[in-house]
Amino acid sequence: MSLNDSRSNGKRSAPREASAAPTITVTDSALIPSVGEKSLLSAWNISFFGAIAILILLPVLRPKPFVEILAFVPDGLVATFSVTIESIFFALILGLLAGLGRIARTKVINRIATIYVEVIRGIPLLVQLFYIYYALGPLLHLRGTASAVAAMSICYGAYLGEIFRAGIQAIPKGQMEAALALGMSRTTALWRIVLPQTVKVILPPIGNEAIALLKDSSLVSILAVSDLLRRGREYASTTFYYLESFTIVALIYLVMTLFFSRLVGIMEAHLRYHGRKHH
Amino acid sequence: MDESIIRIKDARKSFGHVHALRGVSLEVAKGEVVLVIGPSGSGKSTLLRSINRLEHLSSGEIWVENDSVTSPHADIRRIREEVGMVFQSFNLFPHLTVLDNISLAPVIVRRDSGAEAKTRARALLERVGLSDKAASYPDELSGGQQQRVAIARALAMQPKIMLFDEPTSALDPEMIKEVLDVMLDLAKEGMTMLVVSHEMGFARAAADRVVFMDEGLVVESGPPGELFAAPKEERTQRFLEHIL
Ligand SMILES: Nc1ncnc2c1ncn2[C@@H]1O[C@H](COP(=O)(O)OP(=O)(O)O)[C@@H](O)[C@H]1O
Ligand SMILES: [Mg+2]
């Protein structure tokens, strides 16, 4: 969950604690294939097509619980996707604000943004979910899904804020200076010159965060949100087909995250090799 | 000289305990071409960047025309419109075409119409010899071409003063001339120019005055012929021996 994951292109400046010491970074996206890897037996191919094959084979070979599970569980996909997409949307807004706040010259704004990022990153997402759902939800009259989305957005906004900040700081200072020298205001220069260049740098890490969020959205099943995982639990607890239900749930998550990881990988390669031409 | 368009009075600037400028006073007359030379770290860039307030002076004052740049009430954006700047590293906007690089600021800063700004951008491109590059992106151009676009971009704001900070230092030797030629043309047309450069050919052909800086101070200044032939100060002599 950071900009300096192993596949970042070298131009990207590492976020603040850049040091000479060697670092290892284990990201959420270890399964993203390097695009050069064409082999049919690549880890990604085996996992992705293997998971799909099992999803097809199980109901064929053992129709008894699996057809029923496959009919029951995917209803939760709607909730999973809507929580994910809404959370990403609001997290992007919060993240942009936090990122801009972190580079703001006004001390108060800078301090507020930094505190937001530090506090949120220091609290486990599950705790935040409980906090917002049980402690703040009733106060703010948020219903289940809304408080889930609020918690996920606030949490991921902090991580995205660091990506925005690092992305903005990766743009050479001369760009802002050239814009200022032409008479642009700092704000105009930021929106017209710096941020458009930032997009290319931050799109892949934002994609990775979106995938992480898709996975973390399973936490909302603990609240009263009928997402994929919760549907699986509901089915299992009435039929006692635990192994079967959770196998299907796990496989569906796996297929989705592998699919989106591939998409991010392709996008990143495209940006790296062709992004410079802007056509 | 009451025709001074830039007036710098006792400019001082420190970065922490590094004293980049230690009391520089300098006046530039309208239409004058002034070359600033001096060893690396002598404060040349800091001086130039103080004129459009990319750096804030620690003390001292600077006026552009009759406007104080250093006053806290200065309308710095209006002043910057009058002062074009060309950087050593070009700093073109990589996400915009050459034409948009040139026409963006006139549109969003001066609120020119898009059509008007593009027409003028094309005229400027022709003037720097790059008419065929309007639709290209900066990274498709050579360094010399990029720097000519950067000059056109600055000129598009129709500035009264042009600042050049080592405009040819990042260029391969064979590209230096194409940039200097554009600058020579500008000088001939009467543009007021303050140029940090060690291009002696340009100095002799275009400079009215050469200013030698060292350790944050102006050591001496004079017409290029005199200063190069008979420097008064020993530090100037030693420096010139290095670069001539
Ligand atoms: N932003 C900065 N922060 C710290 N020190 C600086 C900064 N800019 C310039 N300096 C220092 O100020 C001195 C003068 O720099 P500069 O004006 O760039 O010199 P020149 O352009 O003549 O090489 C140098 O010692 C340089 O290291
Ligand atoms: Mg310099």
pLDDT band at A34 (very low <50, low <70, confident <90, very high): low
Phi/psi of residue B111, each to 5°?
60, 35
Domain presence at residue A90: yes
Domain presence at residue A158: yes
pLDDT at A182: 98
Domain presence at residue A249: no
Average pLDDT over residues B137-153: 97
pLDDT at A35: 55
Among A175, A183, A277, whose Cβ lies nearest the Cβ of B157? A183
Domains contained in chain A, number: 1
Domain presence at residue A48: no
Domain presence at residue A107: yes
How does pLDDT run across A165-208, given as a tens digit for each residue? 999 999 999 999 999 999 999 999 999 999 999 998 899 999 99
ipTM for the complex? Answer: 0.96
Is A223 or A84 the better-scoring residue by pLDDT?
Answer: A84
Among B80, B84, B110, whose Cβ lies nearest the Cβ of A180? B80
> Rounded to whole angstroms, what are the CA distances from A254 to A44, A169, A208?
11, 34, 15
How many CB atoms lie under 10 A from the CB of residue B172? 10
Average pLDDT over residues A46-69: 93
**Does residue B103 contact residue B184 with C-beta atoms inside 8 Å?**
no
The end-to-end CA distance of chain A, in Å, is: 30
Domain presence at residue A242: no
Question: In the predicted model, what is the mean pLDDT of chain A?
Answer: 85
Domain presence at residue A197: yes
Phi/psi of residue A145, each to 5°?
-65, -40
What's the CA gap between B244 and B76, in Å, rounded?
Answer: 38
- A105, A176, A177, A182: best mutation site toward chain B, by most B Cβ within 10 Å? A182
Residue of chain B nearest A186, judged by CA positions: B77
Average the pLDDT over each of A22-26, A250-254, B47-51, B121-125 and give the range with the smallest value.
Answer: A22-26
Phi/psi of residue B83, each to 5°?
-120, 105
Average the pLDDT over each of A120-134, B114-128, B130-144, B156-170 and give the range with the smallest value.
Answer: A120-134
Which residue, by CA, sits nearest to atom 24 of ligand 1?
B41
**Does residue A4 contact residue A27 with C-beta atoms inside 8 Å?**
no
How does pLDDT run across B23-56, given as a tens digit for each residue? 999 999 999 999 999 999 999 999 999 999 999 9
Residue A6 clears pLDDT 50, i.e. is over it: no
Domain presence at residue A264: yes
Which residue, by CA, sits nearest to atom 17 of ligand 1?
B43
What's the CA gap between A236 and A231, in Å, rounded?
Answer: 9
B window 169-208, beta carbon within 8 A of A: none
pLDDT at A24: 59
Average pLDDT over residues B120-143: 97
Residue of chain A nearest B81, judged by CA positions: A183
Query: Quick check: helix, strand or coil at residue B140?
Result: helix
Phi/psi of residue B34, each to 5°?
-115, 130
Is A130 or B122 the better-scoring residue by pLDDT?
Answer: B122
Nearest Cα residue to A196 out of B115, B239, B93: B93
pLDDT at A202: 93
Which CATH number fits the domain that encloses residue A126? 1.10.3720.10
What residues make up the domain containing A104?
66-229+257-278
Question: In the predicted model, what is the mean pLDDT of chain B?
Answer: 96
> Rounded to whole angstroms, what are the CA distances from A203 to A136, A169, A196, A266, B124?
32, 15, 11, 12, 35
